[in-house]
């Protein structure tokens, strides 16, 4: 049978996403070739998958969209062929690819034929990784083998109360283990946005998801060969408000988003992974008209400590920025790595190594700014002297192997205990330690930081610094690839 209605929903979503009149469909007449289990009597032009190219904000993109109205959006052998064709075209044209996923999984009618062919989708997706941006927008279910396709892409956008992503559905789980679970429990958007970190963005609606995709694309280059221009905006003035946003007390929380707003152009910051590992922020902004990636400790969550989840989150973000030549700004206010049995047993050493590896391997311009403190192993990770091009600090910042109070508690444990006033004696020793080793001024005198920046000079200094590094020449030793701690 032939029916034009099944593709109408997916086509409508594409039209909503792309520039008006820009979409050109390819393989519109393709039909599946399965003859088993009555499938030969159920055919539709396009096979329930719309594929083509269009423009978003005037820039070319490749796009494909499932339609759950035909066989549950199940992924056929022909789907795989159509998706790999648009990936091949995107690689030739150097354009991003967006997938609007709504699939119940590999089409069971076709058995191994569909499963094997989707291996090519996975292969081509990996081959395109780091060459062209790939964005997955989940507008319904994404089940079984079909879940691997978005999982391999750069960014996943899920919709609240609508999207799911899982390998084995509730029915199979019940048969295999006896567990009774819902789709939301095993693969809902909250699970993936908060716990697994697979969802980079959580949208409130389909409209919101499409708008997020457009905004995200606005920060990204078309491919890994495109260079940014370093044109500066008319206003490069700094803000003195930063001094009021950062408390003097090292343990007092504040929202680093407020500080980011004072630094970047138009106070606009697109946060990535907002709900996952929120003790470290990642996202995109513009500074002096230049797209940059930002990694920042968030003092209002776990005091901004690095832990397993936040280390892996930041490492992945850094590797994306490096792949597409997006400079990185790191804002430090970190007491160190989160201590405890759970973190150690959970692999904090390996996770920290991943983050350190990502920073050291990245060749894009990297600038670090210590806002208030940088203690312990987190300091040479986030602002490694040899991996970072320029390091700055606020005048009152502290940089040390550990906080002054903790340091003197170790060094002078006996003297403090025997003092007539242990609390006062400890405070005096901490002040001496701070002046001797922990102040930003000490690091500046030793050449560990390039300059101490009064708050109102931060923005113009960072703009000038990124412009200076715009033509940075750097490379990696000849090798197939590094061996990151996965």
Active site positions, annotated: 144-145, 377-378
CB-neighbour burial class of residue 341 (10 A; exposed 0-12, middle 13-18, buried 19+): exposed
- Residue pointed to by tokens 């792949």: 323
Beta strand 155-159 pairing with 201-203: parallel
Q: Residue 46: left (phi > 0), alpha (psi -120 to 50), or beta?
A: left
Q: Report the chain's C-alpha Rg in angstroms.
A: 25
Dist. CA 34–CA 475, nearest whole Å: 50
Dist. CA 132–CA 93, nearest whole Å: 10
Query: What single DSSP character describes residue 362?
Result: -
Dist. CA 287–CA 462, nearest whole Å: 8
The residue among 46, 54, 47 whose CA lies nearest residue 17 is 54
Dist. CA 158–CA 141, nearest whole Å: 10
∠ Cα 103 105 109 (to 5°) = 115
Q: Residue 303: left (phi > 0), alpha (psi -120 to 50), or beta?
A: left
Beta strand 59-66 pairing with 97-103: parallel
Element (H, E) at 119: helix 112-128
Dist. CA 464–CA 471, nearest whole Å: 13
CB atoms inside a 10 Å sphere around CB 31: 15
DSSP 394-443: -TT-EEESS-HHHHHHHHTHHHHHHSSSHHHHHHHHHHHHIIIIIBHHHH
Dist. CA 287–CA 425, nearest whole Å: 46
């Amino acid at each position: 049978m032939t029916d034009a209605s099944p593709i109408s929903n997916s086509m409508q979503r594409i039209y909503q996403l792309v520039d008006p009149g820009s979409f050109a469909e390819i393989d519109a007449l393709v039909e599946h070739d399965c003859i088993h289990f009555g499938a030969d009597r159920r055919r539709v032009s396009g096979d329930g998958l719309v594929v083509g190219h269009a423009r978003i904000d005037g820039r070319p993109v490749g796009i494909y969209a499932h339609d759950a109205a035909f066989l549950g959006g199940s992924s056929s052998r022909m789907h795989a062929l159509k998706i790999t064709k648009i990936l091949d075209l995107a690689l030739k044209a150097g354009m991003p690819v967006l997938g609007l996923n709504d699939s119940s999984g590999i089409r069971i009618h076709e058995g191994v034929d569909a499963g094997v062919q989707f291996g090519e989708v996975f292969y081509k997706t990996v081959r395109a990784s780091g060459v062209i941006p790939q964005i997955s927008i989940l507008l319904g279910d994404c089940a079984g083998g079909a879940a691997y396709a978005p999982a391999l892409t750069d960014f996943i956008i899920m919709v609240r109360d609508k999207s799911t992503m899982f390998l084995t559905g509730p029915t199979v789980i019940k048969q295999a283990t006896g567990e009774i679970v819902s789709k939301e429990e095993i693969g809902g958007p909250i699970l993936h946005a908060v716990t697994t970190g697979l969802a980079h963005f959580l949208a409130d609606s389909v409209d919101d998801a499409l708008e997020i995709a457009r905004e995200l694309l606005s920060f990204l280059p078309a491919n890994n060969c495109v260079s940014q221009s370093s044109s500066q905006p008319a206003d490069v003035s700094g803000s003195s408000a930063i001094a009021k946003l950062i408390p003097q007390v090292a343990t007092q929380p504040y929202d680093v988003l407020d500080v980011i707003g004072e630094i970047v152009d138009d106070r606009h910051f697109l946060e990535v992974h907002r709900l996952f590992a929120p003790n470290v922020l990642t996202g995109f902004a513009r500074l002096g008209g230049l797209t940059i990636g930002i990694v920042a400790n968030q003092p209002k969550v776990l005091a901004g400590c690095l832990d397993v989840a936040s280390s892996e989150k930041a490492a992945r973000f850094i590797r994306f920025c490096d792949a597409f030549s997006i400079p990185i700004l790191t804002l430090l206010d970190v007491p160190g790595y989160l201590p405890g049995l759970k973190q150690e047993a959970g692999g904090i050493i390996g996770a920290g190594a991943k983050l350190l590896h990502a920073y050291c391997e990245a060749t894009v311009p990297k600038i670090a700014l210590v806002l208030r403190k940088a203690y312990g192993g987190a300091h040479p990770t986030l602002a490694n002297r040899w991996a970072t091009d320029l390091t700055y600090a606020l005048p009152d910042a502290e940089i040390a192997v550990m906080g002054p109070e903790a340091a003197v508690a170790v060094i002078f444990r006996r003297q403090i205990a025997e003092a007539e006033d242990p609390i006062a004696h400890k405070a005096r020793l901490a002040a001496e330690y701070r002046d001797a080793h922990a102040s930003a001024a000490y690091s500046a005198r030793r050449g560990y930081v390039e300059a101490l920046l009064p708050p109102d000079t931060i923005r113009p200094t960072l703009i000038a610094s990124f412009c200076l590094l715009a033509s940075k020449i750097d490379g990696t030793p000849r090798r197939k690839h590094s061996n990151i701690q996965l």
